[in-house]
Amino acid sequence: MINLIYIFLMSIFAGNACTTIDSDITLEVTISGIKKEVGEIRIALYDKDNEFLSEKDINDYRVVPVDGTSVKCKFQVKEAGNYAMALVHDINSNGTMDFNLVGWPKEPYAFSNNPGVWLRAPTFEECAIKVNGNESIVINMK
In the chain, the percentage of residues whose pLDDT exceeds 90 is 63
pLDDT single digits (tens) 25-58: 999 999 999 999 999 999 999 998 778 988 888 9
Mean pLDDT score of the chain: 86
Q: Predicted confidence band at 17 (pLDDT cuts at 50, 70, 90)? A: very low
Position 14 pLDDT exceeds 60: no
Give dist(CA 140, CA 122) in Å, integer: 15
- In this prediction, residue 126 carries a pLDDT of 95
Position 18 pLDDT exceeds 90: no
Position 111 pLDDT exceeds 70: yes
Q: Which of 58, 64, 81 is nearest to 9 (CA)?
A: 58
Q: Evaluate the CA torsion angle 117, 1, 34, 16 in order and state its sign.
A: negative
Beta-bridged to residue 71, according to DSSP, are 31
- In this prediction, residue 100 carries a pLDDT of 92
- Position 15: which residue type? G
Strands 135-140 and 25-32 turn out to be: parallel
Give dist(CA 111, CA 44) in Å, integer: 9
pLDDT single digits (tens) 73-101: 999 998 999 999 999 999 999 988 898 99
- In this prediction, residue 13 carries a pLDDT of 46
- In this prediction, residue 57 carries a pLDDT of 87
Give dist(CA 32, CA 69) in Å, integer: 6
